Amino acid sequence: MIIEKSNQIKKKYKKRSQIYSIWLRFKRNKMAVAGLILLSILLTVAICAPLIVKYEHVIKQNLKIRFLPPGRDYWFGTDALGRDMFARIIWGARYSLSLGIGAVFISMSIGAVIGSVAGYYGGRIDSLIMRIIDVIMAIPGTLMAITIVAALGAGTVKLLIAMSISLIPTFSRVVRSIILSIREEEYIEAARSYGCKDRTIIMRHIWPNSLGPLIVQASLSMAQAVLTISSLSFIGLGVPAPTPEWGTILSENKVNMRDYSYLCTIPGFAILLSVIAMNLIGDGLRDALDPKLKN
């Protein structure tokens, strides 16, 4: 009966395009929509940071106004050097989010190429690539990133490189498995049987069907990347000190945590909110793409 029911639901959506129906299912998931709104706000803040506060407020030290609690003039208070925490958090969104998104974008592009080559050509190339990936996957991605950053020395670009490298194996694997599974699907066989050209098959069938799982993986990896980047910055292996990355801000202020707890709570919440938003979107997309799981 459950199957009969889902058939009826499917029937209803048959006339609309696939992407539109995914969006409809996504839209119905309140938590996912909340995540999308939250992430949009955070991204807007990150992009419009120069319009909200000038960068000079981020680094301007004023020892006369150290440790001001959150109030009217300084919404999030000031830190040990009298810097405006609000400005630092706002600009921090730029660094934290762009690093996370950047790392995922770079590793996804490279991983997609590697995974496609492995999945499409198969045979020896595939097994060679997969053996190398197995070796890299033998140690955790975080540890790989830590090792690379520790060897290169702390720095924003170096962190980005390290994060991207550590995420490449995951994306290569995901893309490869998507391509392999789609190649085996019966609808590809069916498309071929009624004389579809290779190009049409790739454009009409393989691409749309592989994009979904890839986007899901990207949004979940992004959440993970933001977490790892802030952790690395926190232990002194990431973005170096005056730059207002959220993990770096936490690292600077942890010594004053006992007396001025707001210095640590606010940046932490900023990270938490962005990661929650990305996870909610990822989960929502996954459910929307796979309606089986929902009922």
Partner 1 sequence: MVRYILKRLIIMIPIIVGITLIVFAILNYTPGDAATLILGFDATEASLDALRAKLKLDDPFMVRYVRYLVGLLKGDLGISWRHNTPVAAELMNRIPNTLGLAAYAVTVMLILGIPMGIISAVRQYSLLDHTTLFIALLMTSIPTFWLALMMMLKFSLELGILPATMPTSAAITWKHWVLPTFMCSANLTASTVRTTRSNMLEVIRSDYIRTAKSKGAGQFRVIMYHALRNALMPVVTIVGINFNVLMGGAVITEQVFNISGVGNLLISSVRTKDAPMAMGCIIFIATVIGIVNLLVDLLYVFINPRLKSMYVRNNAAKEES
Partner 2 sequence: MYDKLLEINNLHVNYKTADDVVYAVNGLNLSVRKGETLGLVGETGSGKTTVALSILKLLPEKIGFISNGRIWFESVDITKTSEKEMRRVRGEQISMIFQDPMTSLNPTIRVGEQIAENLLLHKKDMTKKQISDRVDEILRLVGLTKEKKNDFPHQLSGGMKQRVVIALALACEPKLLLADEPTTALDVTIQAQVLSMMHKLKEKLDTSMILITHDLGVVANNCDRVAIMYAGQIIEEGNIRDIFTAKHHHPYTLGLFGSIPDMSKKTRRLAPIDGMMPDPTNLPDGCHFWPRCTDRMDVCKMCEPNPCYKDTHMIKCHLYKDLYNERGKDYIVGKDE
The verdict on 279 binding partner 1 (CB under 8 A) reads yes
Q: Please, what is the minimum distance in Å from the beta carbon of residue 15 to partner 2?
A: 14
Q: Please, what is the minimum distance in Å from the beta carbon of residue 157 to partner 1?
A: 13
Quote the tokens at residue 288: 């929307």
The verdict on 293 binding partner 1 (CB under 8 A) reads yes
- Applying CB under 8 A, the span of 8-16, 95-103, 110-118, 279-287 interacting with partner 2 comes to 8-16
The verdict on 208 binding partner 1 (CB under 8 A) reads no
126 touches 180 (CB < 8 A): no
Single-letter amino acid code for the residue at 262: Y
Query: What is the dihedral sign for C-alpha 122, 125, 127, 132?
Result: negative
Question: Smaller CB distance to partner 1: residue 112 or 223?
Answer: 223
Alpha helices in 138-261 (DSSP H): 141-152, 156-184, 186-193, 198-200, 207-234, 246-253
Which distant-in-sequence residues (6+ apart) come within 8 Å of 173 by Cβ? 115, 133, 137
Q: Please, what is the minimum distance in Å from the beta carbon of residue 2 to partner 2?
A: 6
- Applying CB under 8 A, the span of 43-51, 76-84, 179-187, 263-271 interacting with partner 1 comes to 263-271
DSSP state of 153: -
The verdict on 151 binding partner 1 (CB under 8 A) reads yes
Among 68, 114, 179, 264, binds partner 1 (CB under 8 A): 264
Quote the tokens at residue 81: 């050097």
267 touches 249 (CB < 8 A): yes
- Residue 125 binds: one of partner 1, partner 2, none (C-beta under 5 to 8 A by kind): none
Calculate the CA 157 to chain-centre distance: 17
Residues 235-294 that bind partner 2 (CB under 8 A): none
- Residue 11 binds: one of partner 1, partner 2, none (C-beta under 5 to 8 A by kind): partner 2
In whole angstroms, how far apart are CA 233 and each of 163, 222, 236? 12, 16, 5
User: If you search the block for the tokens 């974008």, which residue do you land on?
Assistant: 105
Q: How far apart are CA 79 and CA 69, in angstroms?
A: 9
Residues 116-145 that bind partner 1 (CB under 8 A): 131-132, 134-143
Site size toward partner 2, by CB under 8 A: 10
Among 16, 28, 192, 197, binds partner 2 (CB under 8 A): 28
- Provide the binding-site residues for partner 2, judged by CB under 8 A: 1-2, 4-5, 7-9, 11, 28, 295
